[in-house]
Amino acid sequence: MSLPEVVVGPDTVILGIETSCDETAAAVVMGGDDVVSSVVSSQIDVHAEFGGVVPEVASRAHLESINPVVRRAIDDAGIDEHRIDAIACTVGPGLIGALLVGVSSAKALALAWNTPFVGVNHLEAHLYASFLEDPTLEFPLVVLLVSGGHTMLVEMKGHGDYRLLGRTIDDAAGEAFDKVARYLDLGYPGGPAIDRAATEGDPGAVNFPRAMMDDGLNFSFSGLKTSVVNFVRKHPEVSSVDIAASFQQAVSDVLVHKAMKAARNVGATGVVLGGGVAANTQLRSDLQAACADDGIGAFLPGREMCTDNAAMIAAAGWHRLRALGPSRLDIGAFPSMPLVEAGIADG
């Protein structure tokens, strides 16, 4: 069964769908960068009592939310479904049960509406969040992609043309935020909790280690987490806001230092920030200052576009559809889908 081809241009309307982790999201985006509607239904409350995302619980919550969320995105856009030219959906990486809810719904809608389907790599979509705000960004760019599951530096040479420059060898930056917040009892999810606590703390209070600073472009965060735990055990008198601020500063210093090194290495026009940790206040201001010092751009998507959303899926879907055409309807979901071999979704 094949679906119609679509000519992709400034009027092309894409319905994006995202269910890779704990957000059920749908959005309508026109021309790859005009966000007409964006709906995100977060499962934070559902998972808070467990202190982390429970995969089976996430899948069930996606199942309950997917239809109402898609309906609201279309209603908010003020269009009728016949105006939708293609459906873009995250096919990986992510939790398999969660991904399958979005992929199955997207394929069912594609069949019911006789509309092309395009499978999108979630990591690639995070790279595209910046293009929603500034579609005129010039290549080459260095992207610092920092989320709950990934921490990587990527050279973006053109649309769909990536080179992995560095990545974490252990914990992702977001994972370190979440674990340290849990240890300090600051709440869930950990990143925003540390961000909030840090506003009242002194980032210079404790000099936590900055791992692998002068050692290539890879990162390591598990030692930092251990050193926070050891410090708190030895110094219970130091306030958790000072610990939060000092930890956050250590993470930001490493991320910014390596992103700037990568930008110099590849002669980038600027650094693009993506992924949930890109919402971090300290990281945003440190990166902006470092890019200004080097005379290059700092491209920071709005905070709601940093964390998981479907507008970025529709944006990446628009570029993918234009370059490669629709995906086959028999492609599955890919829990460990890498960024660089994103072509796996070509089907």
Query: In the complex, which residues of this chain contact ligand KG4 (CB under 6 A)?
Result: 21, 147-149, 174, 177-178, 189-192, 195, 275-277, 279-280, 307-308
Instruction: Give the CA radius of gyration of the chain.
Output: 20
Instruction: State the sign of the Cα–Cα–Cα–Cα dihedral 328, 326, 19, 28.
Output: negative
Between CA 25 and CA 27 the distance in angstroms is 7
Question: Which residue has tokens 């995100």?
Answer: 40
Structure tokens at 123: 């990591």
**Amino acid present at 178:** D
**Residue 189's binding partner out of ligand KG4, Zn ion, none, with CB under 5 to 8 Å set by partner kind:** ligand KG4
Number of residues that bind Zn ion (CB under 5 A): 2
Task: Point out which span in 6-14, 82-90, 147-155, 327-335 binds Zn ion (CB under 5 A).
Answer: 147-155
Residue 333 vs residues 16, 93, 229, 327, 345: alpha-carbon distances, Å: 16, 8, 37, 12, 9
Distance in Å from the first CA to the final CA of the chain: 14
Shortest CB 227 distance to ligand KG4, Å: 18
CB of 23 to Zn ion, least distance (A): 8
Nearer to ligand KG4, 90 or 115 (CB): 90
Closest CA to 298 of 85, 112, 143, 166: 143
Q: What span, in angstroms and rounded, lies between the C-alpha atoms of 282 and 195?
A: 8
Q: Based on the shown chain and the rule CB under 5 A, indicate whether residue 282 belongs to the binding site for Zn ion.
A: no
Structure tokens at 12: 């092309």
Which is nearer to ligand KG4, 166 or 276 (by Cβ)? 276
43 binds, among ligand KG4, Zn ion, none (CB under 5 to 8 A by kind): none
Question: Is 195 near Zn ion (CB under 5 A)?
Answer: no
Q: Which stretch binds Zn ion (CB under 5 A): 52-60, 111-119, 145-153, 280-288?
A: 145-153
Cis peptide upstream of residue 116 (ω within 30 degrees of 0): no
- Binding residues among 288-317 for Zn ion as defined by CB under 5 A: 308
Report the C-alpha gap between 30 and 79 in whole angstroms: 12
Measured from the CB atom, the residue of 84 and 337 that comes closer to ligand KG4 is 337
Nearer to Zn ion (CB atom), residue 173 or residue 243? 173
Minimum Å distance from CB 161 to ligand KG4? 22
Binding residues vs Zn ion (CB under 5 A) = 147, 308
